[in-house]
Structure 1
Amino acid sequence: MGYQEDSPLAQYFEQSQYDTSIYTGFHPLDTGHDALLARITLIESAKYTLDLQYYIYRDDETGHLLTWRLYEAAERGVKVRVLLDDMQERNDDDLARLNSHPNIQVRLFNPNNYRKARNLGFLAEFSRLNSRMHNKSLTADSVVSIVGGRNIGNEYFSYQSVVEFGDFDLLLYGNTVEQTADQYDEYWNSEFAVPVEWINPTNKELTSEEVKQFALDQDFKGQFTSGHYDMTSLKFYSDMRQHKLQIYWGKGKLLYDKPTKIIGEGSQLIDDLQIVLQDVTSEIIIISPYFVPTQIGTDMLVSAVQSGKKVTIVTNSLASNDVYAVHGWYAKYREELVEGGVDLWEIKASAEIKNKWSMTGKSHSSLHAKVMLIDDDTLFVGSMNWDPRSAQINTEMAVLILQEEFVSESKAEMEGHIRNMAYKLEVEDGDLVWQDLAEQTTYTSEPDASIWRRMGAWVAGVLPIEEQL
């Protein structure tokens, strides 16, 4: 799909200082409410096309809101394509009815053949179904994209969720948008992307009257434009309306796996990333919610420190990790990393996430951002965790941008907040300890984690499952 010069989005971001065939302009989406509003803005502003690609798309309030806006876009003539990984169980009838709109196409990536007995299908075809499309992108008119770590669901947008994910996306304009659109087409046209009508050839059509009634019943306008969750009161909203959105510019490139990775053809993203990491001169900061470095990765990180580079890892603590099996295997490498000179931090479950809609006292914080800051000028943001599953099994994507100002600001901000948000791991007298530098407290076992969670992580660490994590 070509670049649409007369799209309202092109007119909004139009500039003459940078060559957009080389440069990418981006705005960081580091809060859930801004990330949700940015997606709605792109959907409402699109004139020609909308392409969505997600691993998870929840059947909840924010998922309903975005689907409603997609339907409204289709009603005004926008061509909408939705590509969803099929790991999440969804209602095939609902997808088929949405797909019945002449301007909406829905495809499922690597679908389970057993629609009603999915667990049976997974057991029958484990090798195929174990590999998933973990990519996350939204592109409007081939002009603006959102790429990063967020799926679609309440917990990713800090909306009425028991768990609040600390996540990160980039709103993109410039050369990486065209690359994202090309990546999308490659997945959309692959043999693994199956049209919903092949899976559920329903004759039932979704009518505009039904959608209007659904929107009224859900009270979308009341929920999201008034009261506690009023998106019109956000700074991002006023900045967009007044053309004051801060845009950083830098040379950018999209890194992504080919769809054929799911049949064992290797990771193009990892190959490209290895070239980038070989050129690190002074420092690397890795932010990864699911961090399983393996022995090879641990040796590599320690070797980097020994060669004079500063290595910092920020990941979840056991209490903040929503997948304790991952923690069980990550824990095996902690002492070796710390003793090797790696600065290792674990996010507190009580960490305060930047969120205007914070459900204080009801929420549980969990890191979900996948970011790397390399040397003084390189930013890496995408869907990839630092674990065997991302490296070897699932498909992933990320954007790499050279931008010294943003990297410098991000490192300074992290230094200012990390002591309050995370535990610093140290080794004292041969034992691992957790330093709460804000409270001047030292813990000798996993902070804030129940005995059952500790036992679950320990059992997972005994099982031979590292390559699946």
Structure 2
Amino acid sequence: MKLKLNNAWRGCALLATLFLAACAATPPQPPCNPDRQNLPDCPPQGALQDPVVDQRYQRRSIADASALQIDPIKLGMEADVPVKDALGKVIGSSYEESIASLAAKMWLVDNARFSVDAVYYIFTRDLVGYAFLGALCEAVERGVDVRVMVDSLGSNHPTHSELKALRHCATDGGFAVNSAGQLTTRKARVQAAVFGALTQPGSNYNRRSHDKLLVVDGSLPEYAWVMTGGRNISLAYYGLNKDGSRDPNAYKDLELLLRPAPGVLPEESVGRVSENYVSILLANPGNKVLSSGMAYAGQRKKMQESLAALRAMPDFQRAYDAMPVYLQENIHPVRTRIAHELGNIVSDDVVGSYDENLAKNPNSIVYIARKLEQLDPDNRTIRIVSPYLFLPRYERDDGSVFHDSADNIQRWLDEHPDNRLEIVTNSVLTSDNFFTQSIIDMDTAPSLLLDEASVKQWRKKLADSELNPELVASDHWQRMINNPRIQIYQTGRLDADLLGGDVAYGKLHAKFFLTDAWAFVGTTNLDYRSLLFNNEMGFYVVGEPLREELVEEFEALKSQSYRWGTPEWLQMRAAVREKGGMKGVTSKRQRSLFKNLRQTGLHWQF
């Protein structure tokens, strides 16, 4: 099957024009020393004024949203986005791949030639966070232009002194080189912003940037790399403790690494498209662009110390040294297209008008998935991996239901008798969020597998449901949960270290879904927050070798799971309750948690 989507790229070209028009005038430059040119930033004698570098520099300047003639978010929604050739690589969920993910990020920054863009929902001030900043600081000093954005809620901090310290690295910034390796008059910058800062006019505390995106040399097709998926910038996502030992309970995640295919036009390459996307996010009116005249010497020292500590860790060092080979292995030709949920940032009446809001963003992850399903609906196995998978049900203000995912899935199966649905999600053992887990276990899985009477019985108190053999030991129950066309798996097994065993299952955090023809890897959890309130992003890809690697990842996660409702699954849940602690207590209270979330309407916030 071909990815039949518009190949034009008019919207972001217009955006680039607007950004250039919105750039502030060049500030006056005081007289420079005799050994320097009397130009902005006092470049060294012999540095060239290169128009290509100048244009690239201006295009990367954060636009003043108030000076733009159009809302950049709406422009991103309306842009005609290309489907282009690229090379893609899956960075998987194993411990070794987690270390490789961190090593790849650091290696790509260390080898950047012109630019780095980093946009992350969670940016933690821990060893990984400071080491990453240390690598960015070194890049700026080499002449690499850097843009960084974090979310004001996911990366909450009163001052963000760590990002302000990174900005100060530009004081010692080097000058950019052109394609011929010649020094130019453009000095490297650090532009840092906080998405949706509550101190900013137009900011909405409930609209978040859930992005996780690294773009290196986006405008240079021969050098560009793009990485996205579920991993944030935090020690908890890379399988390491701060002393370099293995963290058995780290997040189990997955990412997609892309680079432009040879011969792709620079303005339509996956690197440039991703760089333009970052420009749109940075222009959001609710952002706060950071500035400070302080040096933050203590923060810079912490960056250097953390970077040295990370580089000295044996497992990281081995992975880093292997990067030149690793980045060339198992990288496959694909057709790819970026998708996002920018519409969630600006939408109104997010539940009652969900269908109308979705139609306004043809670049939406959900919108594109629906279109692709219409193109080739038969003989499909849909596989979904999500830590927090919900089944949305939307009503109008008058109470009429206009979208019910459970009904839609059942109708899809009825209309296409050869189709199947397989899901991997968290269990009470592996989840880091007991509220979302209560929705999964009391709504998502039961709504797909059980009949209406059994759903009602399952939601009753423990003695009448989970501990009731008349329900869970009945032949009727076995027939429902062993549905050959809907299979739901939850990670973790009875041999888990948390239950006294010797296997570490971690916490599932990967987010991808695929059919027999295409795949998507990105940041969306497919829960209410991802579908209604957050901006999410990722890439659709078509390419059989890469899709097969995602199938292998899916099967590996299945092998670490139990099917929902089976005797082994029930036994695992009983063991968690018996173990006690937060997981045990919240597992016992799942039904009341679910009921309270529904009654208060708080389920919409997860």
TM-score calculated relative to the size of structure 1: 0.80
> Counterparts in 2 of 1:265-304, with a 5 A limit?
266-267=357-358, 268=361, 269=364, 270-278=366-374, 279-281=376-378, 282-295=380-393, 296-304=404-412
Measured at CA, do residues 195 and 342 of structure 1 come closer, stay the same or move farther in structure 2, by a change above 3 Å? Answer: same
Q: Which residue is equivalent to 2:143? A: 77
Measured at CA, do residues 262 and 350 of structure 1 come closer, stay the same or move farther in structure 2, by a change above 3 Å? Answer: farther
* % same residue: 19
How many residues in Structure 1 have an aligned counterpart in Structure 2? 416
Deviation at 1:260, TM superposition (A): 6.1
Measured at CA, do residues 420 and 273 of structure 1 come closer, stay the same or move farther in structure 2, by a change above 3 Å? Answer: closer
CA distance in 2, matches of 1:262, 1:316: 31
Q: Which residue is equivalent to 1:420? A: 559
Q: Tell me whether 1:166 sits opposite 2:252 in the alignment.
A: yes
> Secondary structure, in 3 states, of the residue corresponding to 1:58?
coil
Spell out, residue by residue over 1:347-402, the C-alpha distance to the aligned partner (whole angstroms, 9 max, x if none): 1177999xxxxxx9696611101011212x31110000121111111110010000
> Counterparts in 2 of 1:91-102, with a 5 A limit?
91-92=158-159, 94=161, 95-102=163-170
Q: Tell me whether 1:132 sits opposite 2:214 in the alignment.
A: no
> Counterparts in 2 of 1:232-247, with a 5 A limit?
232-234=317-319, 237-238=321-322, 240-241=324-325, 244-247=328-331
Q: Which amino acid aligns with 2:123?
A: Y
Q: Which amino acid aligns with 1:185?
A: S
Q: Does the 8 Å CA contact 1:144/1:177 hold for their aligned counterparts? A: yes
CA distance in 2, matches of 1:326, 1:289: 9
Q: Tell me whether 1:58 sits opposite 2:168 in the alignment.
A: no
Spell out, residue by residue over 1:150-172, the C-alpha distance to the aligned partner (whole angstroms, 9 max, x if none): 11101111111463111111111
Q: Which residue is equivalent to 2:338? A: 254
Q: Which of these residues, 411, 415, 418, is aligned with residue 551 of structure 2? A: 411
Q: Which of these residues, 489, 493, 501, is aligned with residue 345 of structure 1? A: 489
Deviation at 1:447, TM superposition (A): 5.3
> Secondary structure, in 3 states, of the residue corresponding to 1:163?
coil
CA distance in 2, matches of 1:444, 1:158: 24
Q: Which residue is equivalent to 2:433? A: 323
Q: Does the 8 Å CA contact 1:313/1:345 hold for their aligned counterparts? A: yes
Deviation at 1:238, TM superposition (A): 2.3
Q: Which of these residues, 264, 275, 279, is aligned with residue 181 of structure 1? A: 275
Q: Does the 8 Å CA contact 1:318/1:446 hold for their aligned counterparts? A: no
Q: Which residue is equivalent to 1:17? A: none
Deviation at 1:193, TM superposition (A): 2.3
Q: Does the 8 Å CA contact 1:190/1:259 hold for their aligned counterparts? A: no
CA distance in 2, matches of 1:210, 1:410: 39
Q: Does the 8 Å CA contact 2:204/2:286 hold for their aligned counterparts? A: no
CA distance in 2, matches of 1:352, 1:240: 36
> Counterparts in 2 of 1:137-148, with a 5 A limit?
137-142=213-218, 143-148=224-229
Q: Which of these residues, 389, 399, 410, is aligned with residue 539 of structure 2? A: 399
Q: Which of these residues, 18, 29, 33, is aligned with residue 91 of structure 2? A: 29
Spell out, residue by residue over 1:182-216, the C-alpha distance to the aligned partner (whole angstroms, 9 max, x if none): 1111111221222023xxxx431245x973x4356
List, as ranges, runs of 4+ consecutive aligned residues in structure 1 with deviation greater than 6 Å: 1-4, 349-353
> Secondary structure, in 3 states, of the residue corresponding to 1:332?
helix
Q: Which of these residues, 35, 41, 44, is aligned with residue 110 of structure 2? A: 44
Measured at CA, do residues 3 and 274 of structure 1 come closer, stay the same or move farther in structure 2, by a change above 3 Å? Answer: farther
Q: Which residue is equivalent to 1:225? A: 312
Q: Does the 8 Å CA contact 2:493/2:562 hold for their aligned counterparts? A: no
Measured at CA, do residues 86 and 259 of structure 1 come closer, stay the same or move farther in structure 2, by a change above 3 Å? Answer: farther
Structure holding more strand per residue: 1
Bigger shift: residues 177-186 or 382-391: 177-186
Structure 2 gap ranges (5+): 1-15, 17-50, 54-81, 171-188, 219-223, 242-246, 261-268, 351-356, 394-403, 450-479
Q: Tell me whether 1:335 sits opposite 2:437 in the alignment.
A: no
Q: Which amino acid aligns with 1:97?
A: A
Measured at CA, do residues 189 and 3 of structure 1 come closer, stay the same or move farther in structure 2, by a change above 3 Å? Answer: farther
Q: Which of these residues, 358, 383, 387, is aligned with residue 523 of structure 2? A: 383
CA distance in 1, matches of 2:528, 2:506: 24
Deviation at 1:139, TM superposition (A): 0.4
Q: Tell me whether 1:305 sits opposite 2:413 in the alignment.
A: yes
> Secondary structure, in 3 states, of the residue corresponding to 1:73?
helix
Structure 1 gap ranges (5+): 5-19, 115-124, 354-359, 426-431, 437-441
TM-score calculated relative to the size of structure 2: 0.63
Q: Which amino acid aligns with 2:442?
A: K
CA distance in 2, matches of 1:242, 1:408: 19
Q: Which residue is equivalent to 1:373? A: 514
CA distance in 1, matches of 2:524, 2:117: 20
Q: Does the 8 Å CA contact 1:370/1:382 hold for their aligned counterparts? A: yes
Q: Which amino acid aligns with 1:104?
A: V
CA distance in 1, matches of 2:144, 2:52: 15
